[in-house]
Amino acid sequence: MYVVAIPNRTSPPAILLRESYRDGRRVKNRTLANLSAWPPERIEALRRLLRGQAVGPLRLDTAFEIVRSRPHGHVAAVLGTARRLELDRLLGPRPDRRRNLALAMVVERLLDPRSKLATVRGLAPDTLTSTLGEGLALDHADEDDLYAAMDWRRPWPTGI
């Protein structure tokens, strides 16, 4: 494909988007679109694009701003393994906020062993350190919630 300007005697040139192809041994042209109504900058941008050149300033550092980035891969791996091993069902038979908090503490200890206060900060929406809180649908928690989740399963079942 290419852009060509076809001169006219009494009017401005026709700007056409064309394609060349072979018909047996002959090379033929086919007009795909009439671009005469386009502004000149747009036509030039299309020409550059068809040649494989940069159309405009492509500076990724100014194209968008990264406000915050949270690690996810290691959280997904450990949380997926815990669920495959049915650790969440071992903590409690039914989905429950306390069960999710207990599972979050176990996963957090495996990923980055820290205090309960640091775990709470890592789960808080303003200071997330990973996607663990989102993966377990924990939008907010404090230290008392974590301690309550630890006390929730006492006494533990004897068959474990």
Residues 146, 150, 156, CA angle at the centre, nearest 5°? 165
Domain that holds residue 138: 73-152
Q: Does the residue 104 lie in any domain?
A: yes
pLDDT, mean of residues 13-34: 94
Total domain count, the chain = 2
Long-range contacts of 49-54 (CB under 8 A, 24+ apart): 50/1, 50/2, 50/3
pLDDT of residue 56: 66
Question: pLDDT of 93-129, one tens digit each?
Answer: 888 899 999 999 999 999 999 898 999 998 888 888 8
For residue 159, the one-letter residue type is G
Both 94 and 148 in one domain: the answer is yes
The first and second tokens of residue 147, run together, are 């301690």
Give the pLDDT confidence of 35-76 residue by residue, as tens digits: 999 999 999 989 998 998 877 665 666 667 778 788 899 999
> 49 and 88 share a domain?
no
Residue 46 lies inside a defined structural domain of this protein:
yes
Q: CA end-to-end span of the chain, whole Å?
A: 70
Residue 30 sits in the same domain as residue 93:
no
Q: Is the domain of 51 the same as that of 99?
A: no
pLDDT score, position 159 = 60
Q: Is the entire prediction scored with pTM above 0.75?
A: no
User: What's the pLDDT at 3?
Assistant: 95
Token digits of residue 90: 């071992």
Determine the pLDDT at residue 63. Answer: 65
**Residue 24 in domain:** yes
Taking residues 65-89, what's their average pLDDT? 90
pLDDT at 68: 78
| Residue 64 resides in a domain | no
5: pLDDT confidence band, cut at 50, 70 and 90? very high
In a domain, residue 28? The reply is yes
